[in-house]
């Protein structure tokens, strides 16, 4: 059988090479399509998670009302009690995404990072920042391209060095473990870069999906003793922390009722629960599941073309070797042995093609699903074997030998 396989590969080399090239091209298309489909599925899931059952909680303090509220130090206890209730309430998951600009003591950063740059009036030394808790990182599937994300101990306001994570575009200007002096709500803090976000990380700010590529991610600071720091700083800190996001299967009306009851209990103006805008991943004018169906159909078409190409080439080779197979069968070689050699040849062609395609595709997209590809290759090999198997089993000895090659 091994001699049969080697002999078949040596003869008609052009058809073997052609089969490998056609199969390789098909595998490359399948790999890239699967990679795109996987990436699309991840994005669609993240976008859906960023908008599904998500609500925004806002306080009712504006301008002078906020100043008057923060001027009363007794309200620190009120805000602390509201925050503790929010983060421990079993009816919902509480997500902090507070926005406060930071003042960074750095040199050489391009103006594009400065606050207000996109609106045409950047503020020197002020940079956009978002303060988050662990629920924010989990809910929006935030990942680091380098370094790490926040851990439990990173949120403690008592830390001598506060860890920060920088958006992807900061990678060219900062290094991991670099120390930065930061001005945050009138307090000077020593911070250390612990990671850089993956490119195009995003969250839902209630009105749009906002990229984090140019944003400094700051831990939402936790305190053991609310009177341990300056009261004006703590009041502002807690006011920011209590206006967050709610992720819950409950309706907005039920969540609003919970917040109204708690606000009245604390004798403050009831916080308002608002719906968050929904968004859908689109590409080529298609949304979410429609796009994934198109990619699936595209993969199926590629697989069918690959199956047709391999089968056609193998049947052509069998046709050219009919006389040889006829003589071998007449001399006692079983058809099963010939079929087995053809099956091994198919597996050989698929294996070589898969290795070449995987190597080429890895240079383009490193997201290759090996288990699925192996299953696909094995299935394609078995299906490709059906036409040659029929051809060999239908081979008539007398007619084949009389007809010659």
The ranges of the chain with pLDDT < 50 are 283-287, 405
How far are the Cα atoms of 82, 101, 137, 211 from residue 88, in angstroms, in the given order? 10, 28, 17, 29
User: What pLDDT is attached to residue 14?
Assistant: 66
Would you state the pLDDT for residue 223?
Answer: 87
CB atoms within 10 A of CB 146: 15
pLDDT at residue 285, as a whole number = 44
Relative to beta strand 245-247, strand 93-95 is: antiparallel
Q: What are the angstrom distances between the C-alpha of 158 and each of 93, 137, 163, 180, 195?
A: 25, 22, 12, 17, 21
Contact residues for 335 (Cβ-Cβ < 8 A; gap 6+): 329, 392, 393, 395
- pLDDT of res. 286: 45
Structure tokens at 273: 């629960």
- Predicted pLDDT at 212: 92
Could you give the angle at the alpha carbon of 38 between the alpha carbons of 35 and 40, nearest 5°?
A: 105
Whether 353 and 281 have beta carbons less than 8 Å apart is answered as no
Predicted local distance difference test score (pLDDT) of residue 356: 76
CA gap 144, 198 in Å, rounded: 5
pLDDT of 226 reads 83
Its pTM stands at 0.62
């Amino acid at each position: 059988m091994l001699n049969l396989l080697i002999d078949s590969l040596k003869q008609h080399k052009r058809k073997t090479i052609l089969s490998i090239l056609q199969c390789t091209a098909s595998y490359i298309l399948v790999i890239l399509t699967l990679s795109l489909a996987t990436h699309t599925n991840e994005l669609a899931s993240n976008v859906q998670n960023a908008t599904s059952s998500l609500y925004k909680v806002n306080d009712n303090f504006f301008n002078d009302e906020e100043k008057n509220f923060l001027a009363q130090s007794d309200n620190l206890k009120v805000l602390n009690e509201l925050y503790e209730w929010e983060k421990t309430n079993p009816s919902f998951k509480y997500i902090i995404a507070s926005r406060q600009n930071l003042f960074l003591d750095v040199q050489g950063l391009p103006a594009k990072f400065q606050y207000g740059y996109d609106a045409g009036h950047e503020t020197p030394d002020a940079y956009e920042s978002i303060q988050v808790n662990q629920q924010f990182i989990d809910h929006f599937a935030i990942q680091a391209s380098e370094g790490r994300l926040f851990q439990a101990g990173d949120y403690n306001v008592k830390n001598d060095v506060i860890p920060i994570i920088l958006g992807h575009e900061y990678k060219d200007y900062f290094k991991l473990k670099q120390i930065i002096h930061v001005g945050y709500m009138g307090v000077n803090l020593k911070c250390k870069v612990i990671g850089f976000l993956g490119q195009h990380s995003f969250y839902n700010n209630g009105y749009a999906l906002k990229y984090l590529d140019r944003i400094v991610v700051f831990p939402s600071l936790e305190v053991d003793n609310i009177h341990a720091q300056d009261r004006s700083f703590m009041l502002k800190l807690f006011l920011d922390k209590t206006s967050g996001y709610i992720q819950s299967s409950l309706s907005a009306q039920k969540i609003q009722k919970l917040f109204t009851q708690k606000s009245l209990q604390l004798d403050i103006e009831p916080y308002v629960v608002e719906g968050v805008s929904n968004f859908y991943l689109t590409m080529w004018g298609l949304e979410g599941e429609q796009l994934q169906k198109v990619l699936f159909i595209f993969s199926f078409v590629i697989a069918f073309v690959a199956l047709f190409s391999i089968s056609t080439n193998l049947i052509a080779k069998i046709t050219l070797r009919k006389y040889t197979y006829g003589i071998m069968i007449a001399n006692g070689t079983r058809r099963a042995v010939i079929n087995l050699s053809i099956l091994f040849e198919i597996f050989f062609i698929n294996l070589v093609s898969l290795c070449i395609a995987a190597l080429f595709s890895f240079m383009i997209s490193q997201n290759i699903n090996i288990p699925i590809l192996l299953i696909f290759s094995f299935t394609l090999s078995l299906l490709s074997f059906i036409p040659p198997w029929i051809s060999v089993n239908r081979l008539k000895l007398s007619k084949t030998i009389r007809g010659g090659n």
